[in-house]
Structure 1
Amino acid sequence: MPHAPALPDPSCATSTLRALDADTPPAHRPLPVCRVEGTQAWSGVDEVIEEVPVALVFNGISHAVLLATPADLDDLALGFSLSEGILDSRGELYDLECFGATHGIELRLEIASSRFADLKTRRRNLAGRTGCGLCGVESLDALARPLTPVAAFTPIPIASVTLGLAKLPAWQRLREITGAVHAAAWIGRDGHIRALREDVGRHNALDKLLGHLAREGVDRRDGFVLVSSRASYEMVQKVAMLGIGCLVAVSAPTALAVKLATEAGVTLAGFARGEKLVVYSHPAGLGIPA
């Protein structure tokens, strides 16, 4: 399986790094294209989404390389850390710095020493590709992170899902410009979108959203996550790790995702389009009698 290119070790390549505190690369760029319609062809310009290797470095040790869109990287770092179980809370992240490197971007996180010790004992060198949530996992045992079932929550009205779906396109700015990104949205019980994050990778979009929710201290029992993609095992795992009880996907879930959602107490719905959706686990979370 091909992997994302590794970034230079900061201990031996510091000269290639530059601070990006207020100067992250653009999320998309204009590129020359040839447009064709029937037998006619003409030159033009198209906005193309950026896909950049992003290394997450914890207390000086590189842990993961993700291919991501260079936007909302602070949310990505925090969301990934929480949804992967590296951190238990926002307060365990002490500092975050962003650096540009020859081959991509490096996010340097300083975390609590106890959490770093736990990370070293279960470390996995994860090199992610777009849309691939488990590249680099070292063993099958690494898939089975213990999950506490999500706490009971007041059911989400079906009408709120319908309203959130209707509002989703207007919030997808990068998709409108490039047509090449996924979105993850946090939707309140009233159906209104409170936050949305976009990325070329669906897992990254979700991590960015989860990082935002953690940073803002949002009550995760008072809404649901809507994703513009299919729902994979790892996406269910990520929302469950943060105690979110309802995940709605525009496309299909996998059987493994349904199994985990059932075990974790997560209401999982797919094929959410217009007023239609298919509920695969815990329909009571959407006010539907079992």
Structure 2
Amino acid sequence: MSTQTPSTLRVAPDPSSPRLTRAVTGVDQTGASIGLRVVEERPLTIYLNSREIVTAMTIGDHPEWLALGFLVNQGMVRAADEVTGIDYDEELETVVVRTAVETDHEAKLARATRTSGCAVGTVFGDMMEGLEGLTLPPTPLHVRDLNALSSAINRTPSLYLEAGAIHGTCLCRGPDPLAYFEDVGRHNAVDKLAGWMRDTGTDPADKTLYTTGRLTSEMVIKCALMGVPILVSRSGFTAWGVEIARQVGLTVIGRMKGSRFVCLSGEGRVIWDAE
């Protein structure tokens, strides 16, 4: 399959970066020697002002956006909070996100829970906060655009094509990919995207979030709280993820392979115009 980076992509994977993969040798099913590249995992400790929040395992790219997006998605940094700086120390493997005013996050830490995300995704006891009364825009989803989008993402050069063992998340508008992030955990990839959206002031109203990961409750909640009305995956669903999506009016499409998919919520946005 030929690969080509879409011209609309503002942020794209960098599979050629030597920092993100490592060359290893092994043997194949015949006993013959084989060489391949595998993705790296590095710890990244995130601080909010002077408080240590979490240590995440990540491939190590875009640490500032990962830290900011994580804090935004956990409700620790809200829309009204002024972010005054993000400091990354590669040697110490830490990121410090600084706000103009100290935030109230200690209660959230006390209610921390572990979720079903790969590489230990984390949400908190008030994870449903913000969903009540949430209204997502009635952005239409053209099936013809969805098919074109799937083809464009699958042909984009990526760490997945280079080494596998990784998840991808892409923010899109219509048939066009805009920002594509990868990581060992699907939640990390989404957090990088959320950080990029916050940093660039990107409007979520007319966007689609495409992910390679399962459509779990965590993924649905993050997408809804980011204000993105459409969530698409080539993987499957969890029952709670579908239930929450229906409650908030989020369109969720899964099991997308080629031109085939299943929509389990928000089908009112879908325009069936594929040939």
TM category (shorter chain) comes to 0.7 to 0.9
Asked if the contact 1:186–1:193 (Cα under 8 Å) also holds between the matched residues in 2, the reply is yes
Work out the CA distance in 1 between the residues paired with 2:160 and 2:91: 27
Equivalent position of 2:6 in the other structure: none
Equivalent position of 1:72 in the other structure: 62
Deviation of 1:232 (Å) = 1.0
Asked whether 1:178 is paired with 2:163, we answer yes
CA deviation profile, 1:190-223 (whole Å, cap 9, x unmatched): x111110000111101111122222222221112
Work out the CA distance in 2 between the residues paired with 1:207 and 1:172: 21
Asked whether 1:243 is paired with 2:233, we answer no
Asked whether 1:132 is paired with 2:131, we answer no
SS at match of 1:164: helix
Question: Which letter does structure 1 place at the counterpart of 2:44?
Answer: V
Asked whether 1:28 is paired with 2:21, we answer yes
CA deviation profile, 1:229-250 (whole Å, cap 9, x unmatched): 1111111111111111110111
Work out the CA distance in 1 between the residues paired with 2:152 and 2:96: 35
CA deviation profile, 1:167-204 (whole Å, cap 9, x unmatched): 11222511122112110011112x11111000011110
Work out the CA distance in 1 between the residues paired with 2:80 and 2:192: 14
Deviation of 1:260 (Å) = 1.0
Higher relative contact order (CA 8 A, sep 6+): 2
Work out the CA distance in 2 between the residues paired with 1:151 and 1:143: 18
Question: Which letter does structure 2 place at the counterpart of 1:237?
Answer: I
Work out the CA distance in 1 between the residues paired with 2:68 and 2:154: 26
Work out the CA distance in 2 between the residues paired with 1:59 and 1:83: 17
Asked whether 1:169 is paired with 2:154, we answer yes
SS at match of 1:154: coil
CA deviation profile, 1:221-278 (whole Å, cap 9, x unmatched): 1120000111111111111111111101111111111111111221111111111111
Distance 1:222 1:210, change over 3 A: same
Listed as ranges, the matches of 1:1-290 within 5 Å are 26-31=19-24, 33-38=25-30, 40-42=31-33, 44-89=34-79, 92-100=82-90, 105-114=93-102, 116=103, 118-124=104-110, 130-134=118-122, 137=124, 141-147=125-131, 148-189=133-174, 191-287=175-271
Distance 1:166 1:242, change over 3 A: same
Asked if the contact 1:25–1:70 (Cα under 8 Å) also holds between the matched residues in 2, the reply is no
Distance 1:252 1:131, change over 3 A: farther
Question: Which letter does structure 1 place at the counterpart of 2:26?
Answer: C
Question: Which letter does structure 2 place at the counterpart of 1:34?
Answer: G
The answer for unaligned runs of 5 or more in structure 1 is 1-23
Asked if the contact 2:136–2:250 (Cα under 8 Å) also holds between the matched residues in 1, the reply is no
Work out the CA distance in 1 between the residues paired with 2:113 and 2:98: 19
Asked if the contact 1:55–1:64 (Cα under 8 Å) also holds between the matched residues in 2, the reply is yes
- Between Structure 1 and Structure 2, which shows a larger proportion of helix residues? 1
Deviation of 1:61 (Å) = 0.8
Question: Which letter does structure 2 place at the counterpart of 1:282?
Answer: G
CA RMSD of aligned residues (A): 2.4
SS at match of 1:262: helix
Paired positions, count? 253
> More deviation in 276-285 or 150-159?
150-159
SS at match of 1:160: helix
SS at match of 1:152: coil
- What TM-score comes out, normalization by structure 1 length? 0.80
